[in-house]
Amino acid sequence: METNQHVEKFYQAWGTLGSNWGINKTMAQIHALLLISENSLTTEDIMEKLNISRGNTNMNLRALMDWGLIQKEHKKGERKEHFVAEKDIWKVSRLIARERRKRELEPALKILEELRSIKDTDAESKRFKKQIDEVYKFTSMVDSILDKFIKSNTSWMMKIFAYIAK
């Protein structure tokens, strides 16, 4: 079966991409695997295909559920848990944006807000404040765009993307 090699290539690539963006490689690979699987997969299926331990598989499946990227599926007559991924890539991108905004951007923004509110008036503090202010303004703009994006639907996204790319 040729397709297996292609599937492997895909989840290897997705794993590398993920780890360059601060996401655990295995998590990204499991996600890739489910993303291109027609049918739901069990923990065993995943362990076998990716050659990883039960513990590792379980932990990363939980993480993917936390992110909202995959879901449990119960098959009648089967006791094992089956997992399916959200397949719509636009929706996937919104889910990822949501989590990263929450986990990384928001805490950074909080610190910038804190630093911005300094009341010192000597020259050095003023300069520092001014630079922080620019960083803050930029970051909160990114934050609000992300927010818009997360709450939007696919057709809005497509419209905006087309507008920008034109």
- In the complex, which residues of this chain contact DNA (CB under 7 A)? 19, 24-26, 42-43, 51-56, 58-62, 78-81
Residue 106, contacted partner among DNA, a copy of itself, none, CB below 5-8 A by kind: none
Q: Find residue 82's DSSP bridge partners.
A: 42, 73
Residue 42, contacted partner among DNA, a copy of itself, none, CB below 5-8 A by kind: DNA
- Note the residues at the interface with a copy of itself (CB under 8 A): 2-3, 6-7, 9-10, 13-14, 16-17, 19-22, 35-36, 38, 87, 89-90, 93, 103-104, 107-108, 111-112, 114-115, 118, 120, 122, 124-125, 127-128, 131-132, 134-135, 138, 141, 144-145, 148-149, 160-161, 163-165
Non-local CB neighbours of 133 within 8 Å, separated by 6+ positions = 116
Question: By the 8 A CB rule, do 117 and 141 touch?
Answer: no
